[in-house]
């Protein structure tokens, strides 16, 4: 019996367990998946929790519920991977050998990486919404909000879902307006990037929207520390931004087990072939989702597209066939902009987000890089899709891993050299 081991039962690992159990004969391949936490979080839902749109029941289900029969589910913390011996050591002292290993260990927020972030203001005036606990604490803080300086902040790139902080700013603007608090609240958006978003054409559209909503944008701000006494963000070049309420996205880092195993870069991300998803260091190790160092967005949609390519490549690898270089960096993401409207972006390594229709070219029903009510319905429906189709690896009609250029309005500057 051969052994395939998956580390991490989040979005990526769960999808791989489901896809591969269907593809690999159960009498030849044992599949096991290891994760230290029992709860599966619907992470896109964290954005809605501070505003009371979603609560606990929307975003948490048991991990095991999504692991198929005939896949061994082990709840334990990983100590380290020993790639030269093809084995994984667990904190419990147990060890697992593998023939093929899939790293789906994701990234986590690491607030300790910024001096002072975990100071006296933490969870009093300084919040994150990238964790369940943070989103819940922020919900409580917003209930007591009477106005002042609200600062939405990104510590360092890359982060999961790079549009989420923008969405938070848009939703906060709406929420405050409805409560008559908007004119008492100054909203700033503070980013280490040189614009509102990472991709130029979308960045322009989003910058315009921020301006329309009266949200002040501070770019090129690299935070050095948080001054808890004076409630200020301080940059490395001594610029300062004061806050009454700071909603920050802490540094996102790969799992410490990756670092302990010597498999990661400076953020504990695993160097990975951007088209095949094979580890650059070890042929029988594959990497998916946020755990990779790919120049694509860290998002569930990316993990979903990767999972299709990776399942095929694992089969190729097992049969001794050459891997297919199929992953094109495809990502799509909704951007909630408030007032029951949203944008949708669809892009890959080579083409940045442009206007058009999705998933059906020219038809939609969703509009790319435009603010519509239909897009908002799509985002809200996505929760059902996530729990019921995506995690289980059920194919979605029209939503393939290859990004289509059909139906897109593409200016020449939108195409990036590969």
Partner 1 sequence: MTQKQLNGVTIDIDDDGYMTNHAQWNRDVAAALAKELDIELTDGHWRVLDFIDKDFKEKGVVPGMRRMNKIGGIPTKDLYSLFPDGPIKKAAKVAGYPKPVSCV
Does 157 interact with partner 1 (rule: CB under 8 A)? yes
Binding characters for partner 1, 111-150, by CB under 8 A (x = yes): ----------------------------------------
Say how many C-beta atoms besides its own lie within 10 A of residue 22's C-beta.
10
What values do phi and psi take at 383, rounded to 5? -60, -45
By CB under 8 A, is residue 412 in contact with partner 1?
no
Q: Is 266 in the site for partner 1 (CB under 8 A)?
A: yes
Q: Which stretch binds partner 1 (CB under 8 A): 1-9, 76-84, 152-160, 356-364?
A: 152-160
Nearer to partner 1, 314 or 331 (CB): 331
Q: Compute the distance between CA of residue 33 and CA of residue 71 in angstroms, rounded to an integer.
A: 7
Closer to partner 1 at the Cβ: 158 or 300?
A: 158
Residue 298 sits at the vertex; the CA angle it makes with 297 and 302, to the nearest 5 degrees, is: 75
Binding letters toward partner 1, positions 182-211, x by CB under 8 A: ----------xx----x-------------
158 near partner 1, rule: CB under 8 A: yes
Q: Which is nearer to partner 1, 82 or 156 (CB)?
A: 156
The nearest distance, CB 297 to partner 1, in angstroms, is 5
We find the least distance from the C-beta atom of residue 66 to partner 1, in angstroms, to be 27
Nearest-angstrom CA–CA distance, 291 and 280: 13
Give the binding-site size for partner 1 (rule: CB under 8 A): 19
DSSP string, 116-140: TTTSTTBTTTEE-SSSHHHHHHHHH
Contact between 165 and partner 1 by CB under 8 A: the answer reads: no
- Comparing CB distances to partner 1, the nearer of 181 and 224 is 224
| Interface residue with partner 1, options 12, 86, 296, 367 (CB under 8 A) | 296
Q: Where are the extended beta strands (E) located within 294-368?
A: 331-338, 341-347, 356-360, 364-368
Subset of 220-259 contacting partner 1 (CB under 8 A): 220, 222, 224, 236-237
Binding window for partner 1 (CB under 8 A); candidates: 54-62, 153-161, 172-180, 369-377: 153-161
For the record, the structure tokens of 140 come out as 């409580």
CB of 158 to partner 1, least distance (A): 4
3-state class of 224 per DSSP? Answer: strand
According to CB under 8 A, which residues from 62 to 121 bind partner 1?
Answer: none
How far is it, in rounded angstroms, from Cα 353 to Cα 332? 9
Q: Which residue, 12 or 198, has its beta carbon nearer to partner 1?
A: 198
Sole window of 13-21, 75-83, 85-93, 156-164 interacting with partner 1 (rule: CB under 8 A): 156-164
Query: Could you tell me where the beta strands, DSSP code E, fall in 250-355?
Result: 252-254, 285-287, 331-338, 341-347
Residue 18 or 292: the one with the smaller Cβ distance to partner 1 is: 292
Integer angstrom CA distances of residue 379 from 134, 167, 176, 257, 399: 22, 12, 21, 33, 15
Q: What is the DSSP secondary structure assignment for residue 94, as one 8-state letter?
A: -
Residue 157 Cβ vs partner 1, minimum distance, rounded to whole Å: 5
Judged by CB under 8 A, the residue of 185, 272, 297, 348 near partner 1 is 297
Closest CA to 145 of 51, 47, 240: 51
Element (H, E) at 301: helix 300-319
**Which one, 222 or 281, has the nearer CB to partner 1?**
222
Residues 6+ apart with CB under 8 A from 73: 9, 32, 33, 35, 63, 64, 67
Among candidate residues 290, 299, 311, 301, the one with its CA nearest the CA of residue 396: 301
CB 94 within 8 Å of CB 75 = no
- Reported for 206-214, long-range contacts at CB under 8 A and 24+ positions apart, including other chains, are 206/166, 206/335, 206/343, 209/170, 209/337, 209/371, 210/166, 210/169, 213/169, 213/170, 213/173, 213/187, 213/338, 214/173, 214/187
Residue from 295, 322, 395, 397 in contact with partner 1 (CB under 8 A): 295
Shortest CB 329 distance to partner 1, Å: 10
Nearer to partner 1, 71 or 110 (CB): 110
Q: Which residues bind partner 1 (CB under 8 A)?
A: 156-158, 162, 192-193, 198, 220, 222, 224, 236-237, 265-267, 295-298
């Amino acid at each position: 019996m051969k052994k395939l081991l998956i580390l991490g039962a989040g979005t990526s690992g769960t999808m791989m367990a489901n896809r591969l159990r269907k593809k690999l004969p159960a009498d030849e391949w044992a599949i096991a998946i290891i994760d230290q936490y029992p709860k599966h979080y619907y992470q896109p839902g964290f954005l809605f929790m501070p505003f009371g749109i979603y609560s606990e029941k929307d975003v948490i289900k048991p991990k095991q519920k999504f692991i198929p029969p005939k896949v061994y589910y082990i709840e334990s913390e990983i100590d380290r991977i020993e790639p030269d011996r093809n084995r994984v050591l667990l904190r419990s002292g147990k060890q697992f050998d593998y023939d093929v290993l899939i790293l789906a260990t994701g990234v986590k927020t690491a607030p300790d990486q910024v001096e002072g972030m975990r100071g006296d203001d933490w969870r009093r005036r300084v919040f994150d919404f990238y964790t369940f606990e943070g989103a819940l604490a922020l919900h409580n803080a917003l209930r007591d909000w009477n106005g002042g300086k609200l600062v939405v902040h990104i510590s360092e790139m890359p982060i999961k879902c790079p549009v989420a902080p923008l969405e938070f700013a848009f939703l906060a603007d709406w929420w405050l307006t409805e409560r008559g608090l908007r004119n008492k609240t100054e909203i700033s958006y503070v980013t280490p990037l040189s614009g509102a978003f990472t991709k130029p054409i979308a960045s322009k559209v989003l910058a315009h929207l921020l301006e329309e909503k009266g949200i002040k944008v501070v770019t090129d701000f690299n935070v050095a520390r948080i001054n808890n006494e004076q409630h200020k963000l301080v940059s490395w070049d001594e610029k300062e931004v004061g806050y009454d309420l700071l909603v920050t996205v802490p540094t996102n880092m790969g799992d410490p087990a990756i670092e302990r195993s010597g498999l990661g870069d400076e953020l504990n991300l695993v160097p990975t072939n951007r088209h095949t998803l094979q580890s650059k260091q070890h042929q029988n190790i594959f990497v998916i989702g946020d755990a990779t160092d790919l120049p694509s967005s860290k998002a569930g949609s990316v993990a979903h597209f990767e999972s299709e390519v990776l399942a095929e490549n694992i089969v190729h690898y097992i049969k001794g066939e050459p891997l297919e270089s199929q992953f094109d960096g495809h990502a799509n993401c909704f951007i909630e902009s408030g007032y029951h409207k949203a944008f949708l972006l669809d892009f890959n390594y080579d083409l940045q987000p442009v206007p058009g229709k999705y998933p059906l070219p020219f038809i939609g029903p969703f509009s790319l890089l435009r603010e519509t009510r239909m897009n908002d319905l799509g985002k809200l429906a996505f929760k059902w899709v996530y729990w019921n189709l995506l995690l289980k690896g059920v194919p979605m009609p029209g939503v393939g891993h290859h990004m289509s250029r059909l139906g897109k309005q593409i200016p020449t500057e939108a195409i990036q050299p590969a």
